[in-house]
Structure 1
Amino acid sequence: MMQTISTTLGPVRLLGENATPIWGMSNAERNRRMAESAAKNGSTLAPGHELVFNLAYAFDPLLLRLVLETPGTMFAWAGQPIVGQVPAGSDPMQASNLIDLSDGRKLYNRQLRKLEQPMVRELVPQTRKAIERQSYFGAYKGVTDLLTKYLWPELALILTRIAAQLKMTPNMVSVIGVTLCLVATFLFAKGLFWTGFLCGFIFMVLDTVDGKLARCTITSSKWGNVIDHGVDLVHPPFWWYFWGTGLTYWGLGLSAGTFTFIMTAVIAGYILQRLIEGMFLKDFKMDIHVWRRFDSQFRLITARRNPNMVILFVALLFGRPDIGLIALAWWTILSLVVHAVRLAQAYIVHRSGRPIVSWMDEAEAAA
C-alpha cells in the first residue's frame, strides 16, 4: 500500500501501513511530524522531489536531516527503503545515492555530538518498547555531564513515557521544572539545603525529560527551546548566591571578604566559561567540548550546574555546606583555566595552518 500526503515541507510518500503505535502516536503521524518539524527549521525539498517513508520501520531522525541535505539520497536496511528524498514517483531503491545501513556503518550526529550507528528497526508490537527505549537513548547527547549521562537516564525514561502517555507537552514539563527551580532557590536562601536539593534534583531530571519528550514525540517549539535553554543559562549563579546567604541559618556564614571572593569566582567564572564556549563555536563552528577526546571527557565534570551539585551534595553529607561552596568556587576557577588554555591552543593550531577538527569527525572518517 502507498499513499501520498501533503505537508508544509512538500509531498510525502508513505510506503505500507502500520497500526503499531510509537510514543503514543501512529508511525504515519510520527513521520508527518518529522516532516513538518523539518519545514519549520528551514529545510526544503529539491524541485520535483518527494520524501519517502517506510511505515514498517522506525528510524533515527538524523537520517531525515541527512536526506534533506542531499537530494537523491535514500537510506535502506537490508534491501528495504527506509527514508529518502527522491524524484517524485521514482523507485526508491533506484536512488542516485543509495546507502544501506545494515552494513553497520556509523554516522556523526552534530546536534547530539556523538558518533553511532543510527537506529533502524522494524516497528511491530514485540519491538515497540525496545524501539522507544532506543530512540530515547538515541536522543542523549554523547558529550554531557556525568549525572545526565550516568545517573538518571533510566528514571527520565520512565517519566518521559508517562508524560507521552498522558499527552503532556514538553512545555508542561518545563513549567513544572521551572517552578521547582524557583522553589529550590528560595529554599537555599533559607538554609533548607536538603529540601532545596530535592527540588533541585527533580528539576534537573525534568530538565532532561522535557528535551527527550520533545525529541521523541517530535514536538519541539521555538518558545519551548527558549524557556528550556534560557532557564538553564540563567539560574545556576542564583543557586550558588543564595546557597551562600543560606549558610547563616547553619551558623556557617562566610566573612564578607570570603563571600565576595566566592561569588566573584562562581559568577564571573561561569560567565567567562560560557563566553569562551561561544568564542570557540563562533570561530571554529563547533562546540569546544568535541574538539579533542580530552575536552569531551572534561565535559563530564567541568564546573556546570550538575557537577557543581555533586560537590555541594558531598559537602552536605559531611554537614559542611560552606566548604562545599568554597570547593565549588575553586573548581570553577580551575575549569575556567582549562577552558581558556584550550581556546588559546585552538587559536595556535589554527594560526599554524592546521584545521580544527573534532575527534569525532576523525573517528567517523577512520570508520
Structure 2
Amino acid sequence: MDQNIVFSGNPDGIIWGMTASERAHRLIAQETAKQPIAAGYELQVNLSYVFDPLLLRLVLETPGTVFMWGSALIVGQVAAGGRPEHVIDLSEGRKLYNRQLRKLEQPFVRELTPATRREIERRSYFGAYKGVTDLLTKYLWPELALWLTRIAASLHMTPNMVTAIGATFCLVATYLFAQGMYWTGILAAMIFMVLDTVDGKLARCTITSSKWGNVADHGVDLIHPPFWWYFWGVGLSAWGLALSPESFAVVIAVIVVGYILQRLIEGMFIKDFGMDIHVWGRFDSWFRLITARRNPNMVILFVSLLAGRPDLGLIALAWWTVISLIVHAVRLLQAYGEKRAGRPIVSWMEARA
C-alpha cells in the first residue's frame, strides 16, 4: 500500500464478512486507481469508523479536505506536515450530492463495534442505493435484497456469481413467456429483478466492483427487455388471445423502437450535459419511478394478467412506451434550449447541496 497513506483506529472490526482494514484497502485501491493521491499530500483514514465511499472520492478530488465526525477525523487528504484546508463536520447533518448514485443525502458515518455492525451493514447497504430509480427497486424489495446481500456476503459469493444466477432466471422467464406460462414467468422474472439489485449492492458493500462485472450486469439489463416483450406477445396464442400478425408487428415495433430511442436520448443527455436525464429536475426524478423501463413495464403486464387480459397489457405497454418517449424527447429539447440561452444545466439535487 502507498506510503502516503496513514491509518489510525482499530483495523480488526468485521463488516460484510471482512475486517475494517481489508475494506479500507479495497476502497482505497479502487478509488486511487481513478484519482491518485496528490503529490505532497497524505491520505488519512480512521479504521474505527465505517464511512460512505463518497467521502474518500471527494477527499481525493479535493486535496486539503478532511471529513470529521465531531472531534474524530474520519478521512482526509492533508499536505504532509501541514494542516487541512477544508474541514467538514458531518455530525452537523451536512448533506452531499452523490453524482454516481443520483442522490442528495447525509453520507453515513458510524463507529464500528460488534454492537453496531448490523446497523452499519444496513446503513451502508441503503447508502449504496441509487436515489433515483424505479418504484419497485425503490419501494418493494429493498428489505428482501438486503437479506439476500447479507447471505451472499456471508457465503463469500462474488457479484459476478449473483449476476450469472440472475441471468439464468432471465432466460427461464423468457422461455416461460413464450409458452404463455405467464405466472411462473413473472415469478422467474421477479427473482431475476431482485438479484439484479443484489449484485450491484453486493459489489458496492464489499468493494468488489469490476469493469467486466459492470459490463456483464449492464449488458444483460440493456439487452433482455425487448426479448421479454416480444415473447410475451408470442405466448398470447396459448391463451387464445394472439394479436393479428399486423397488430403484433406494430406493437412490437413501437415497443422496441421506443425503447431504443429512449436509451439513445438518455445517452445524448449524458454526453452533452454530463449527467443522467433523470436527475435534472424534480419532475425527471419522479418520472424515473414509472417511466417505460423493465420494472414499471412488468407492473403493467402483471396488472393485465390479474385482469385475465395479457394481450391488453402488451398494448398498454406500447402506449406507455410512446408516452415515455415523448416526455424524454421534450425534456432533451428543453435542455438544449436552456443551454442555448446560456443557462447552466445542473441537477436539482446538486443545486441544493
Q: Which TM-score tier does this pair reach, normalised by the shorter chain?
A: over 0.9
Matched-pair contact (CA < 8 Å) for 2:103–2:132: yes
How far does residue 250 in structure 1 lie from its aligned partner after superposition? 0.9
Moved more, 182-191 or 207-216: 182-191
**Alpha-carbon distance in 2 for matches of 1:39, 1:233:** 29
Residue type at the aligned position of 1:47: A
- Tell me the C-alpha RMSD between the 2 structures: 1.1
**Alpha-carbon distance in 1 for matches of 2:218, 2:151:** 23
How far does residue 39 in structure 1 lie from its aligned partner after superposition? 3.1
Residue type at the aligned position of 2:63: P
Between the two proteins, the alignment pairs up a number of residues equal to 353
Matched, 1:85 2:85: no
Residues 92-241 of structure 1: pairs in structure 2 closer than 5 A: 94-241=83-230
Counterpart of 2:255?
A: 266
Residue type at the aligned position of 1:337: I
Matched, 1:283 2:272: yes
How far does residue 50 in structure 1 lie from its aligned partner after superposition? 2.2
Once the two structures are superposed, residues 71-106 of structure 1 have per-residue CA deviations (whole angstroms, 9 ceiling, x without a partner) of: 121111101100011234x47xx3122221111110
Pick from 41, 49, 70 the counterpart of residue 49 of structure 1: 41
**Alpha-carbon distance in 1 for matches of 2:32, 2:161:** 24
Pick from 39, 43, 50 the counterpart of residue 58 of structure 1: 50
> TM-score when scaled to structure 1?
0.94
Residue type at the aligned position of 1:345: Q
Once the two structures are superposed, residues 98-145 of structure 1 have per-residue CA deviations (whole angstroms, 9 ceiling, x without a partner) of: 221111110000000110011111111111111110000011111000
Once the two structures are superposed, residues 155-181 of structure 1 have per-residue CA deviations (whole angstroms, 9 ceiling, x without a partner) of: 000000000000000000000001110
**Alpha-carbon distance in 2 for matches of 1:34, 1:219:** 9
Q: Which runs of 5+ in 1 are unaligned?
A: 1-5
Matched, 1:21 2:9: no
Q: Which runs of 5+ in 2 are unaligned?
A: none
**Alpha-carbon distance in 2 for matches of 1:39, 1:135:** 20
How far does residue 350 in structure 1 lie from its aligned partner after superposition? 1.3
**Alpha-carbon distance in 1 for matches of 2:234, 2:53:** 46
Matched-pair contact (CA < 8 Å) for 2:63–2:78: yes
**Alpha-carbon distance in 2 for matches of 1:77, 1:363:** 22
Matched, 1:330 2:319: yes
Once the two structures are superposed, residues 45-75 of structure 1 have per-residue CA deviations (whole angstroms, 9 ceiling, x without a partner) of: 1112222111111100000000000112111
Counterpart of 2:330?
A: 341
Matched-pair contact (CA < 8 Å) for 2:16–2:206: yes
Moved more, 258-267 or 155-164: 258-267
Residue type at the aligned position of 1:83: V
Matched-pair contact (CA < 8 Å) for 2:32–2:60: no
How far does residue 288 in structure 1 lie from its aligned partner after superposition? 0.6
**Alpha-carbon distance in 1 for matches of 2:40, 2:178:** 61
SS at match of 1:143: coil
SS at match of 1:201: helix
How far does residue 351 in structure 1 lie from its aligned partner after superposition? 1.0
Counterpart of 1:71?
A: 63
Taking every aligned residue pair, what percent have the same amino acid on both sides? 69
**Alpha-carbon distance in 1 for matches of 2:153, 2:19:** 13
How far does residue 354 in structure 1 lie from its aligned partner after superposition? 1.2
Residue type at the aligned position of 1:121: R
How far does residue 18 in structure 1 lie from its aligned partner after superposition? 4.0
Residue type at the aligned position of 1:65: R
How far does residue 16 in structure 1 lie from its aligned partner after superposition? 2.1
How far does residue 242 in structure 1 lie from its aligned partner after superposition? 0.5
Once the two structures are superposed, residues 279-329 of structure 1 have per-residue CA deviations (whole angstroms, 9 ceiling, x without a partner) of: 111111111111110000000000000000000001111111111101000
SS at match of 2:147: helix
Counterpart of 1:3?
A: none
